[in-house]
Amino acid sequence: MLGRAIRHHLARLGSWLRVNYYRAMGLKIGRRVFISRHAHLDVRRGKIFIGNNVHIGGGTYVLSHTGFRPVQKDEVTRIEDNVRIFVNCVIFPGVKIGKDSIVGAGAVVMKDVPPGVVVLGNPARVIHHLDDNG
């Protein structure tokens, strides 16, 4: 039990350091955000907004631009409040993930995700609508 508690606290500390690094690089990040150790957020160009109480799993890439086209003026990659993004997902630039949604493992999100749904696949598709008890 002690080893698990120590790992938990170290993971929280690492996430806190990553969140503050990304804030210093210019990303807008809300409160109670957990960013896993191997998650990558694109800070080179474009804009990314992350709401409150968001969890981003390892191996996930959140992109703010693509290399083959210029960044659009008001294009923002937006992850709203209470979103869970599981491992190895790719979030394309300019995509909005709605409040209380879940992005399943390995999803490639190329279009906006409505609030309160579960998306999976490549390309990501809505597979389930969450009720209020979610």
Alpha-carbon span 87 to 106, nearest angstrom:
6
Provide the token pair at 78: 């937006």
Alpha-carbon span 62 to 40, nearest angstrom:
6
Residue of 9, 38, 40, 65 marked catalytic: 40
HSE-CB at 21 with a 13 A cutoff on CA atoms is 13
**Is residue 40 flagged as an active site residue?**
yes
The residues assigned a catalytic role are: 40
